[in-house]
Structure 1
Amino acid sequence: MKTKSIKRDKVNIITLGCSKNMVDSEVLSGQLLANEIDTVHESGKRDHNIVIINTCGFIEKAKEESINTILDNVELKKRGKLDKVYVTGCLSERYRNNLEAEIPEVDAFFGTMELPLILKRFEADYKGELIGERLLSTPQHYAYMKISEGCNRTCSFCAIPLMRGKHTSRSIESLVEEARQLVQRGVKEVMLIAQELTYYGLDIYKKRELPKLLNALADVQGLEWIRLHYAYPSKFPMDIIDAIKDRPNICNYLDMPLQHASNNMLKAMKRQITREEMEDLIGNIRYKIPDICLRTTLIAGFPGETRDDVEELKTFLQKMRFDRVGTFTYSHEEDTSAFDLVDDVPADVKEERAQEIMEVQQEISLEKNEEKVGKTFKVIVDKKEAGRYLGRTEFDSVEVDNEVIINSSKKLHPGDFVNVKITKAYDFDIEGEVVG
C-alpha cells in the first residue's frame, strides 16, 4: 500500500532595502540551514512553501515596495501557492501593530532583533556557535560585514534609530573570526557596514576603535580588499585615515554621507557640522591620501530648502569634486524631529533638484574618468555579462559605483584580480584592456 509522503518545508527569504538587511537575511539563512531547514534566497523557482520577507522602512518608496511585496505573497497564500508568510525587518519593527491589523493574512510579524523568535516558528534553536556563519547571497568573492547595529545620532530626517535602536558594536575578535571564515569560503573583499562606522567601539571599549579593528582585519591572510561604508563627518577621527594609508589591503575609499552643504539645511537636519568644517575635513583627508576615493550621499527637497540652498550645494560639489555621489529625495517620516516641519517642497520639485545635483556630478565624474585613460589599475572581476567582463577598481564599491568594462583575450573568472589599462572613459564607467 502506498503511503503519502510528507513534503518538507522550504523557505524563501526575500530581502528589501540596504546591505545591512542583506546581512541579516544571510544570518537567518545560515541559522535555518544549520537547523536542517531547506532555505533559499530570492528564489524565482516557486518550489518553496514558506516566505520570509525582510522589509525596509527607511523612506516612503521603500515602505511602498515592502508593502507591495507582502501583499503579493499574501495573494499567493490565498491561492494555495504558499503555506506561510512571515514578515521581519525595519517596516515590521516600526509599524507592527498597524500591519497586523491591516494584513491579518500574514502569519507573524517580527522586529529587527527577533531572530530567535523567527527560529522558534520552525521549532529551531538559535545556535550561538554559528556567529559569523551565513549563507552568502552575494557572489563568492565579496561580502558585507556588519560591524555594529543601531545608531546614537539624532539626524532630524532619519528614522533608523526608531527601527534599529541604540549603537551596539560587535567585538573585534568576532569580526576577525568572521573575516577568516569568509576568506576560507573564497571571499577576497569585505565591505564594512554600519549605520555609523566612526562610533565603533565606544559602547564596549569606551573609546572609538575603528582603526584597531581595521588593523586586525588587515592582518587576516587572504583578505585582499577592505572597504569602508557610512562614516559620519562630525568630529571624524583622522586616525581612521592613517589606518587606510598604512595598510595596502584597505581600499583608498571612504563613503561619508554629508546629506547637504548649505549651513541652513545642515542645521535643520541636525548634522552637527558646518559647510566650512566639511571642507576642512575633506581637505585634511585628501592631504593625507591624495588619491582617496570619496563617496557621499545627498538629500534633495528637505523642508525649507530654497533655490539658494540648492545652488550652494551645487557650488560645493563643483569645489569638492567628489568621486562618487548618490542622491535621494527627502521623505517625510513620522516620529522623526523633521516631521514637525512643513514638508513644503513638492514631490516633482524634489525630483528636479535631485536631477540637477546629479547633472553636476555627471560632468565631474566624466572628467575624473577621462583622467584615468592611459593608466593601469588593479581590477577585481565581478561577472561576465553580454559577452564582456565587468569589474571594479579599489575606488568602486558594488552596485553603487562605476564599473570597469574589461576586454580580455583570455578567460577570466569572478574574483580574479587583473591589471587593466584604461582606454575609454564614460560618464560613470571606464573601459580597458588586460595587460601583463
Structure 2
Amino acid sequence: MRKNKVDVITLGCSKNLVDSEQIMRQFVANGYTVEHDPHKINGEIVVVNTCGFIGDAQEESINMILELGEAKKKGKIGKLFVMGCLSERFMKDLQKELPEVDHFYGKFNWKQLISDLGKSYNKDLSADRVLTTPSHYAYLKIAEGCDRTCSYCAIPISTGHYQSLPMETIEEEVRLLVRQGVKEFQVIAQDLTYYGLDLYKRYALPELVERISDIPGVEWIRLHYGYPAHFPYDLLRVMRERGNVCKYMDIALQHISDNMLKRMRRNITKQETYDLIQRMREEVPGIHLRTTLMVGHPGETEKDFEELVEFVRKIRFERMGAFPYSHEEGTYAYKRYQDEILQEVKEERLDYIMRIQERISSEINTSKIGKTFKAIIDREEDGFYIGRTEFDSPEVDPELLINKANRLTLGEFYNVEVEDAQAFDLYGKVLG
C-alpha cells in the first residue's frame, strides 16, 4: 500500500469522468498523489465512481467493489470509498450488503468525502480538474439531471431534475482548459437540447455554443446526447456558420415505429423523426449523425422491429449503436409492463441490426477514400499515429490510422488524405 496515494476508478459515462477529474483535483490540492484507473491499485485511499444505468453496468460496479474489498482485507489498499450513480440509487442496499466499504457517497455529495478525511474542499478550484484524457481534449459537462420521462430510463432516479450550469460558469471553465492546452471540447449532458430551459426559461444551447465558439483557442466543439423532441433548430445555423463547431450530432432516437415511440414515452412521432433528420442534413451539409437504438422494449412486435430495420437502411446513419432493453427497477416500464421478450430474441435483433449498420459504415467509410480531412492526432502506436476527423468522437467512433512517413506531434492538426477504409477505421497519409 502506497501512503498518501489516491486511486480513482471511473465506471460508466463521460459525465462520471468529469466528476472524477474534479475530485482528483481536490485531492491534489490537499497534497495527495493521484492516479486514475491505474494498472496497479495500491493506494492508501481508493475511490470508485460507479455507474447505475443498466444491469450490466451495475454488475460491473459491484464486482469492482467486491474485488477491492478483498484487496482491502489483505492490506493491499487502505480506505475504500464509493460514489456515483449506483450508490445514489441503491445507497441503503449497498451499505447493508457491502460493509467492507468505508463510506458511500451519492452522485452529488462527493465533496463531503474530502471533508470526511479531515481535508479542505477548495471552492476556488471548483472549475478545475485533473484531466484524464489526452491534454488536447476534454469533456465539458453543461448540465446535470434530466426532466424527460422515457419509460425505460433510470437515470433521472439517480440524477434528479435538470440543472443547467450558468453560461458564465461554463465559459470560465473553457477558458481555464484552453490555458492548459485543451483545443477540443466534447460538450456533454444527459440531454443537451434541454439546456437553459430551467435557468433561462428558453432553449439556450445555440447561444451557449456560440459563446464557447467565440473563445480564442477553441478549435473543435462536438455535441453529445441531444433529444429529438423540441429540438432547438437554431443550433443547425450555428453548426453551419461556425468553423470550430463540428458537423456532428449525437442524438439518441431509440426507435422509429409510432407504437414503440409512444410506449417509450419519447414525445415524438415517426414522421417527426424523419422530418428532423431531413432538416439536419439539408441545413448542415455533410453532417455526421450518431444515434443509439433500443431493441426488445416491452411490446416491440416483429412489425415494429421491421420498421426499425427499414429506418436504419433508409437513413444510413454515419454512426450508430444499439442495445437490448434492460428491465430497470423504478422505471415507468418496470412498473407498467412485463419484460416478456426473451433475452435471446433481444440479442438476435441486436445482432441483426448491427450487421446492417456495419455494412453501411463500411460503405460510408469507403466513400471517403481519396478525400482530405483535417485531423487531430491522439496518440502513437506501433506503425501508426492515431487521429480523428471532426466527425469522430473519442473512444466511440472510427479512428484514422496515419502512416509514419512524417514525424507528427500529438495534439496537433494535420490535413490527411484517406487511402483505405474498413467498417470502423480509416487509413491515411499526411499531406504537405
Task: Give yes or no for TM over 0.5.
Answer: yes
Q: Does 1:218 align with 2:213?
A: yes
Residue type of the alignment partner of 2:72:
K
Which of the residues 289, 295, 311 maps onto 2:290?
Answer: 295
TM, length-normalised to structure 1: 0.97
Q: Deviations over 1:108-165 (max 9, x none)?
A: 0011000221111221222221122000111111110000000000001000110011
TM, length-normalised to structure 2: 0.98
CA shift for structure 1 position 405: 1.1
The equivalent of 1:109 in structure 2 is: 104
Does the Cα contact within 8 Å between 1:408 and 1:434 map onto a contact in 2? no
Q: Does 1:305 align with 2:287?
A: no
- Distance (whole Å) between structure 1 residues aligned to residue 100 and residue 88 of structure 2: 18
Q: Deviations over 1:187-246 (max 9, x none)?
A: 110100000001111122121111111111001111100000000000111001111111
Which of the residues 201, 204, 209 maps onto 1:206?
Answer: 201
Which of the residues 177, 190, 210 maps onto 2:172?
Answer: 177
- Distance (whole Å) between structure 2 residues aligned to residue 173 and residue 131 of structure 1: 14
Which of the residues 362, 373, 376 maps onto 2:372?
Answer: 376
CA spacing shift, 1:84–1:136, aligned 2, 3 Å: same
Which of the residues 393, 396, 399 maps onto 1:400?
Answer: 396
- Distance (whole Å) between structure 2 residues aligned to residue 156 and residue 275 of structure 1: 17
- Distance (whole Å) between structure 1 residues aligned to residue 2 and residue 133 of structure 2: 29
- Distance (whole Å) between structure 2 residues aligned to residue 427 and residue 7 of structure 1: 44
Which of the residues 23, 27, 31 maps onto 1:28?
Answer: 23
Q: Does 1:91 align with 2:83?
A: no
Does the Cα contact within 8 Å between 1:225 and 1:249 map onto a contact in 2? yes
The equivalent of 2:419 in structure 1 is: 423
Does the Cα contact within 8 Å between 2:206 and 2:232 map onto a contact in 1? no
Does the Cα contact within 8 Å between 1:389 and 1:405 map onto a contact in 2? yes
Q: Does 1:59 align with 2:54?
A: yes
The equivalent of 2:382 in structure 1 is: 386
CA shift for structure 1 position 256: 0.3
CA shift for structure 1 position 37: 2.5
SS in 1 for 2:416: strand
- Distance (whole Å) between structure 2 residues aligned to residue 272 and residue 147 of structure 1: 23
The equivalent of 1:364 in structure 2 is: 360
CA shift for structure 1 position 7: 7.5
Q: Does 1:412 align with 2:408?
A: yes
5+ residue gaps, structure 1, are 1-5
Q: Does 1:71 align with 2:66?
A: yes
Which of the residues 232, 253, 264 maps onto 1:258?
Answer: 253
Q: Does 1:277 align with 2:272?
A: yes
- Distance (whole Å) between structure 2 residues aligned to residue 209 and residue 129 of structure 1: 27
Residue type of the alignment partner of 1:434:
V
- Distance (whole Å) between structure 2 residues aligned to residue 7 and residue 112 of structure 1: 27
The equivalent of 2:154 in structure 1 is: 159
Which of the residues 329, 335, 347 maps onto 1:334?
Answer: 329
Residue type of the alignment partner of 1:377:
F
SS in 2 for 1:282: helix
- Distance (whole Å) between structure 2 residues aligned to residue 174 and residue 232 of structure 1: 23
Residue type of the alignment partner of 2:36:
H
The equivalent of 2:131 in structure 1 is: 136
Which of the residues 341, 348, 371 maps onto 2:344?
Answer: 348
SS in 2 for 1:381: strand
Does the Cα contact within 8 Å between 1:233 and 1:273 map onto a contact in 2? yes
5+ residue gaps, structure 2, are none
CA shift for structure 1 position 413: 2.3
CA spacing shift, 1:160–1:256, aligned 2, 3 Å: same
CA shift for structure 1 position 35: 2.0
Does the Cα contact within 8 Å between 2:95 and 2:104 map onto a contact in 1? yes
- Distance (whole Å) between structure 1 residues aligned to residue 357 and residue 78 of structure 2: 48
Q: Does 1:191 align with 2:196?
A: no
- Distance (whole Å) between structure 1 residues aligned to residue 39 and residue 366 of structure 2: 40
- Distance (whole Å) between structure 1 residues aligned to residue 56 and residue 110 of structure 2: 26
- Distance (whole Å) between structure 2 residues aligned to residue 190 and residue 374 of structure 1: 28
Does the Cα contact within 8 Å between 2:406 and 2:430 map onto a contact in 1? no
- Distance (whole Å) between structure 1 residues aligned to residue 256 and residue 142 of structure 2: 28
Q: Deviations over 1:285-334 (max 9, x none)?
A: 11101200111001111112121111110101111111000111111001
Residue type of the alignment partner of 1:368:
I
* Stretch deviating more after TM superposition (247-256 or 123-132): 123-132
Does the Cα contact within 8 Å between 1:152 and 1:161 map onto a contact in 2? yes
SS in 2 for 1:229: strand
SS in 1 for 2:225: coil
CA shift for structure 1 position 38: 2.4
- Distance (whole Å) between structure 1 residues aligned to residue 368 and residue 2 of structure 2: 57
Does the Cα contact within 8 Å between 2:383 and 2:404 map onto a contact in 1? no
SS in 1 for 2:306: helix
Identity of aligned residues (%): 51
Residue type of the alignment partner of 1:235:
H
- Distance (whole Å) between structure 2 residues aligned to residue 350 and residue 38 of structure 1: 45
Q: Deviations over 1:69-125 (max 9, x none)?
A: 000000001111122111000000000100111111110001100022111122122
SS in 1 for 2:226: coil
Does the Cα contact within 8 Å between 2:2 and 2:44 map onto a contact in 1? no
SS in 2 for 1:377: strand
Q: How many residues are aligned here?
A: 431
The equivalent of 2:44 in structure 1 is: 49
- Distance (whole Å) between structure 2 residues aligned to residue 168 and residue 379 of structure 1: 34
Does the Cα contact within 8 Å between 2:3 and 2:43 map onto a contact in 1? no
The equivalent of 1:324 in structure 2 is: 319
Residue type of the alignment partner of 1:70:
I
CA shift for structure 1 position 47: 3.9
